Amino acid sequence: LVYHNLKQACPDLVPQETLYSLKKAYKDNAIRNLSNATALLKMLDLLKANDIQAVPFKGPLIAERAYNDLNLRSFSDLDILIRQSDVPKAKKVLSQTGYEAEIEISGKHQQKFIQHENSISFFHKNHLPVDLHWEITGRYLLKPIYLEFFSEKLATKSFLGKQIFSIPEDVMLVYLCVHGASHCWDRLEWLCCFVELMKRQTEQTILDALGLAKHIGAKRIFLLGLFLGKYLLAAKYPDALEQGLTYDRGIVQRGHKISNEMFDRPAHFDSGAAWRFSPMHIMIRDSCLDRLKYAFYLFTLPTIKEWSKYPAPYMLTSFYRVIRPFRLAWTFIALRIK
């Protein structure tokens, strides 16, 4: 993205060595993206052949939708959304194709895991990792968004000459804000994607996105994304939306804090697990009650780490809710010591 814009705007002002380095990185990424996108289409065909409805999202799909150019983003895995009921079948299909799941569970354990978690990763020695999702917000909202939630609104789009299912535009806008907020917006490119995708929408689609955000308890999360887009990238929004926007003091303060941290980080910054426990995740909720609910939800609902680190008989899996707060406390202490 940097190379693309510098080349168009002011190539003569960039030192030739730097421009060459950026060009090489751009071309390497373009080759890799084309190969990975082809792998994505093959995976979609495999799932379709087994009667599994699959909707790709993130990575190359966002690049196409936001920039109309597959090469302006980078991605290292394949993210595919399926129905919650199709998870066991999809897991079996991938296993038969040589993929190994990050955690091996079956029977009642698997049913309970699917109820609590939102995705599972698969690895293959010769292929890209595949992340199967059955919920797109990553456990970050009190009201999860499953494929079933918007399956009737699914559209088809052309991608590398093939027709594939596509997440509705209003859902994608809200998803990008939820994803960005869950990571404390620690990458400017995520915000670029959101703003560029907003530019391509009708006024009604953006208002629909705001309505969806209100419905699922993510209004302030969506407003934070809008504020950052306007503050950092001078984004312009439809008049009907602008007139109804109110950035409360909390959103403005969080937006300024995120902006400062985004540009103060050293090169090659790796946030590790730090963002997972940010106070922002609680403070950005729509109401005090939502903050309390999310705090309880965050510290008690087990994740894949509990399932993988502490294997237990099915009858004892309820104890994961007790184990999780202690594991989080130890993680926090370990981060402080480090």
User: Distance (Å, rounded) from C-alpha 242 to C-alpha 265?
Assistant: 31
Cα distances (angstroms) measured from residue 313 to each of 110, 111, 324: 12, 14, 17
For residue 124, the cross-strand partners are: 127
3-state secondary structure 184-247: CCCCHHHHHHHHHHHHCCCHHHHHHHHHHHHHCCCHHHHHHHHHHHHHHHCCCCCHHHHHHCCC
pLDDT at 273 over 80: no
Per-residue model confidence (pLDDT) at position 308: 78
Question: Which residues lie below 8 Å from residue 152, measured CB to CB, with a gap of 6+?
Answer: none
pTM for the model: 0.90
Contact status, residue 67 vs residue 33, Cβ threshold 8 Å: no
pLDDT at 251 over 60: yes
pLDDT at 214 over 80: yes
Q: What percent of the chain has pLDDT over 70?
A: 95
Per-residue model confidence (pLDDT) at position 338: 60
User: Distance (Å, rounded) from C-alpha 296 to C-alpha 293?
Assistant: 5
pLDDT at 113 over 70: yes
Q: Beta-carbon neighbour count of residue 279 at 10 Å?
A: 9
Q: Beta-carbon neighbour count of residue 160 at 10 Å?
A: 13
Contact status, residue 54 vs residue 47, Cβ threshold 8 Å: yes
Per-residue model confidence (pLDDT) at position 267: 59
The structure tokens 């792998």 sit at 39
User: Distance (Å, rounded) from C-alpha 295 to C-alpha 254?
Assistant: 18
Per-residue model confidence (pLDDT) at position 138: 85
Per-residue model confidence (pLDDT) at position 319: 77
For 246-257, what is the mean pLDDT?
92
User: Distance (Å, rounded) from C-alpha 75 to C-alpha 167?
Assistant: 18
What is the pLDDT of the chain when averaged over all its residues?
Answer: 89
Q: What is the pLDDT of residues 274-333, one digit of tens each?
A: 446 688 899 999 999 999 999 888 888 877 777 777 777 777 777 778 888 887 777 777
Question: Which residues lie below 8 Å from residue 139, measured CB to CB, with a gap of 6+?
Answer: 117, 118, 301, 303
Query: What 3-state class would DSSP assign to 121?
Result: strand
Per-residue model confidence (pLDDT) at position 274: 45
Contacts of 105-114 with C-beta under 8 Å, sequence gap 24+, read: 105/307, 107/314, 108/314, 109/307, 109/314, 109/317, 112/314, 112/317, 113/304, 113/307, 114/84, 114/87, 114/88
Per-residue model confidence (pLDDT) at position 312: 75
